Amino acid sequence: MPETAERRAVVRCVFCQTPNRVDLSKLALGPKCASCKRPILLDRPVKVTGADFDQTLQGTTVPVLVDFHADWCGPCHMMAPIVDDFAQRHAGAALVLKLDTDANQAIAGRYGIRGIAPVIVFEHGRERGRHVGVADLAKLESL
């Protein structure tokens, strides 16, 4: 299987909301939205909602780390810079998503999110690892 087929992600443009398939092996070239031509930045967490969560998981061939967070959550705020660092270090090899559990309660319920600051790693749309609570970079990488 060619490398480009193995490393792709489906992400929604933050500007126009158009879903885009991004070839992660060409991330250094600066992918742009097919519709509005604005940059798609994958060196940081990508916000997702119930509208695009499943499409992103199913259309992405690299591991996906999802930070399930809430604005009121202190440990979530502590995790934010660690998740940002992980996204930057692993851009192109993994996709990092942020999902607001208060705004997307159906998805939070589907994955049994009950603890504080959970992260779940998915591979090919299936859960592969989970950690609840504040974690350092090494813990995220071990997932």
Residues with catalytic annotation? Answer: 73, 76
Give start and end residues of each alpha helix (H) in the chain.
3-6, 53-59, 74-89, 105-110, 137-142
- The residues near 142 (Cβ < 8 Å, ≥ 6 apart) are 129
Q: How far apart are CA 135 and CA 40, in angstroms?
A: 27
**Three-state secondary structure call for residue 46:** strand
Counting beta carbons within 10 angstroms of the beta carbon of residue 29, is it exposed (0 to 12), middle (13 to 18) or buried (19 or more)? exposed
